[in-house]
Amino acid sequence: MAINYKKTAWNDNASGYTPITPTRLNNIENALKSVCDGWDSVSQPTAFACAMHNCTSSGVLKGYKVGRLVTLYMTGIPALSADLAAWNGRQVATVPAGYRPAAEAWLPASFDRGGGYVTIATNGAVTIHARDVALPKGYGFAVGGPYVS
């Protein structure tokens, strides 16, 4: 965002000073308003939901975006539709276009009886990587955290 601002050279010395005038004060006010309006245009969060894959229950991976910062979070706890050993390294969700990371992102994940992480690829694929592969079908997982889009 470019701001058209003409800087004032202020002088305060014996040989001369810069008068404070309505024009100069309005120049400052207009520049401040421009900055605030520009920030407001990128600071409003936009919410989204990810498409879930092969999970049961009502849990959904959702997120919101402010500027380029995206935060993912869970609503409910989706349950795996197969034993975790079958899911380790598999996709469980897709982040919609416009909310995908600029580079692969890693976020912590927790499972009913273990921990691990998920990766979010630049194509939006959310993939499970579990440390404990002995979780049976029906166990839930949770993931959340920020990344840059």
Q: Domain spans of the chain? A: 12-43, 46-148
Q: What band does 20 get if pLDDT is binned at 50, 70 and 90? A: confident
Quick one: DSSP state of residue 34?
H
Does CATH number 2.60.40.1830 belong to domain 46-148?
yes
| C-beta neighbour count of 79 within 10 angstroms | 16
Note the pTM of the prediction, 2 decimals.
0.64
Q: In this structure, is the dihedral angle defined by the CA atoms of residues 67, 107, 50 and 58, taken in order, positive or negative?
A: negative
| Beta-bridge partner residues of 87 | none
Q: Do 126 and 93 contact (CB within 8 A), yes or no?
A: yes
Burial code of 109-123, b = ≥16 C-beta within 10 A, e = fewer? bbbbebebbbbbbee
Q: Token pair for residue 134?
A: 């002995």
pLDDT digit string, tens, across residues 92-116? 888 999 889 999 999 888 776 677 8
